[in-house]
Amino acid sequence: MPDKVVTRFAPSPTGFLHIGGARTALFNWLYAKHTSGIMLLRIEDTDRERSTDAATAAILDGLSWLGLTWDGEPVSQFERAPRHREVAEELVRMGKAYYSYETPAELEAMREAARAKGLPPRYNGQWRDRAPSEAPAGVKGAIRIKAPTEGETVVHDRVQGEVRFPNKDLDDFIILRSDGNPTYMHAVVVDDHDMGVTHIIRGDDHLTNAARQTVIYHAMGWDVPSMSHIPLIHGADGAKLSKRHGALGVEAYRAMGYLPEALLNYLARLGWSHGDDEIMSIKDMISWFDIGDVNKGAARFDFAKLEALNGVHMRRMSDAELFEIFIATLPYLEGGPAMAARLDDRNKAQLLAALPGLKERAKTLVELVDGAAFLFATRPLPIDDKAALLLNDDARKILRGAHEALSAVSGDWTAAAAESAIRDYAQAGGHKLGAVAQPLRAALTGKSTSPGVFDVLAVLGREESLARISDQID
């Protein structure tokens, strides 16, 4: 292994950071952290038609939200085009590449001839050994690599094993177009070499590229980095992940109320495992991760599992930490901006006090918004359909008695004091505790489910609690 492991994440800025890209970034980041190495970031923006600054910003924002920090400044591949040209021209000087001068029509005829013989369309190498003096006047040629014609190119892959490619299938592919722009295949090799990348971890859709890129490394006499091609993520139905399966941008998962740590835990477990450990902290993942343990087979994305895992992470988190994340994420959550606009010191304190009960029932931060809504509601409370069913005439009679019992609480207004008063009232009136607690919950929160009703009373305080109960009696 080299002195220092250098990985890289190299997204194309043609859209948001999708979930498959996030997992690739995570595996690069974990491997770098596990080996005390570094992860670099390169924006592969050579496709000028489709690359946008907004997409670059979305990718950086997504990585930052997940906590997948990179070392140094992001590198723009487009800005390195002069260096890519320099290497292509050097390969020509070394006799490892050559200029070819076909017109588009000639190339199409070549493809047709191959198809007619039942062969894959390959370049026939007709300019490979011709003298540059034969070049047509005024035509700029493209530069093609001289790929080996016999034997095979072997990719030593830490996930896929040893993968062999017959050289006759690789053909003399273009590394510099006739307009002077490098091809993706060539730019990636030059960038990875110049950036000192020692370990390439990317999707297995790049596996055939790895053979062609190996040809360029060998031609330049450069060391080939360690390669790991990880399986793609599929939907629950086994088909390649698409938008209908959840191939959304990372920012969509933030808006759905997932915690970064839970999402990373879930993504790490897609294609990699550590014994039977399902729940992992970032620290656990860094300590346990090794790229050689990634499975060859595609992993299936399952929203129900992600949601359950997120709920576990929320419950395991300290109230203070969850509170900080919740407040910071409010602007992105459904119903969150309205809640954020009404936050003041008083209801922040109430929210923190209510969190132990709220997080027991929530699997996402969106569910937490929903659960905490009663703290921010203005009187008279909107009552949902299920809660309305609990507030029939008999229940209102019970509420009158509960209101009297709670009004008589002297000393500190605590959950224990409220519970004691309500239990005594229920016992004296021959009511089951639930017959008192359920209408109380409906009156206090406007819902049929909430944290424990005595905790709700304590968090709302004496004045607000009694006022909300009064609203339902009158």
CATH of the domain at 456: 1.10.10.350
C-alpha distance from residue 455 to each of 155, 205, 247, 417 (Å): 62, 53, 40, 11
Is the residue at 354 inside a domain? no
> Rounded distance, CA 323 to CA 65, Å?
16
Same domain, 199 and 270: no
Same domain, 400 and 431: yes
Planar angle of CA 315, 263, 28, nearest 5 degrees: 135
Is residue 243 flagged as an active site residue? yes
Looking only at the bridges linking them, the beta strands covering 226-230 and 199-203 are: parallel
Is the residue at 350 inside a domain? no
CATH number for the domain harbouring residue 154: 3.40.50.620
| 80 contacts 191 by C-beta, under 8 angstroms | yes
Asked if residue 380 has a cis previous peptide bond (ω within 30° of 0), the answer is yes
Kindly tell me if the per-residue pLDDT of 244 is higher than 80: no
Which residues are annotated binding-site positions? 243
Last residue of a domain, one of 298, 316, 334: 316
Say what percent of the chain tops pLDDT 70. 98
**Residue 309: predicted pLDDT:** 97
Six token digits for residue 175:
């590394």
Is the residue at 423 inside a domain? yes
Local confidence band at 14 (pLDDT 50, 70, 90 cut-offs): confident
Is the residue at 360 inside a domain? no
First-to-last alpha carbon distance for the chain, in angstroms, is 77
Same domain, 39 and 6: yes
Same domain, 162 and 254: no
> Which candidate, 410, 430, 418, 421, places its Cα nearest to that of 455?
418
HSE-CB at 268 with a 13 A cutoff on CA atoms is: 31
Same domain, 161 and 203: yes
Is the residue at 170 inside a domain? yes
Number of domains into which the chain is organized: 3
Kindly tell me if the per-residue pLDDT of 245 is higher than 90: no
**Residue 246: predicted pLDDT:** 53
**Residue 85: predicted pLDDT:** 97
Q: Which of 4, 140, 168, 243 is catalytic?
A: 243
> Rounded distance, CA 245 to CA 299, Å?
13
Q: For 204-224, give the DSSP string.
A: GGGHHHHHHHHHHHHHHTPPP
| 4 contacts 198 by C-beta, under 8 angstroms | yes
pTM, rounded to two decimals: 0.90
Local confidence band at 170 (pLDDT 50, 70, 90 cut-offs): confident
Is the residue at 448 inside a domain? yes
> Rounded distance, CA 239 to CA 160, Å?
20
| 142 contacts 177 by C-beta, under 8 angstroms | yes
Six token digits for residue 437:
């607690």
Which residues are annotated binding-site positions for ATP? 243
| 175 contacts 186 by C-beta, under 8 angstroms | yes
- Interval 276-303: pLDDT, tens: 899 999 999 999 999 999 998 888 888 8
Is the residue at 344 inside a domain? no
- Residues in Cβ contact with 227 at an 8 Å cutoff, skipping those fewer than 6 apart: 155, 156, 157, 158, 200, 210
Same domain, 392 and 267: no
Name the range with the highest mean pLDDT among 166-175, 213-222, 432-441.
213-222
| 381 contacts 468 by C-beta, under 8 angstroms | yes
- Interval 308-352: pLDDT, tens: 999 999 999 999 999 999 999 999 999 899 999 999 998 899 999
Same domain, 226 and 114: yes
Same domain, 136 and 209: yes
**Residue 46: predicted pLDDT:** 86
> Which candidate, 296, 282, 270, places its Cα nearest to that of 21?
270
| 141 contacts 100 by C-beta, under 8 angstroms | yes
Last residue of a domain, one of 316, 350, 374: 316
Is the residue at 266 inside a domain? yes
HSE-CB at 173 with a 13 A cutoff on CA atoms is: 19
Same domain, 92 and 209: yes
Kindly tell me if the per-residue pLDDT of 2 is higher than 80: no
Same domain, 60 and 125: no
Last residue of a domain, one of 230, 250, 270: 230
Burial of 431 (0-12, 13-18, 19+ CB in 10 A): middle
Kindly tell me if the per-residue pLDDT of 138 is higher than 90: no
| 147 contacts 167 by C-beta, under 8 angstroms | yes
Same domain, 140 and 201: yes
Q: For 308-360, give the DSSP string.
A: HHHHHHHHHS-HHHHHHHHHHHGGGSTTHHHHHHT--HHHHHHHHHHHHHHHH
Burial of 256-276, coded b for 16+ CB within 10 Å and e otherwise, reads bbbbbbbbbbbbbbbbbebee
- Interval 414-425: pLDDT, tens: 999 999 999 999
26-30, 131-135, 303-307, 387-391: range with lowest mean pLDDT: 131-135
Q: Which domain holds residue 454?
A: 385-473
Determine phi and psi for 204, rounding to 5 degrees.
-75, 0
Kindly tell me if the per-residue pLDDT of 142 is higher than 90: yes
Neighbours of 377 (CB within 10 A): 15
Same domain, 92 and 155: yes
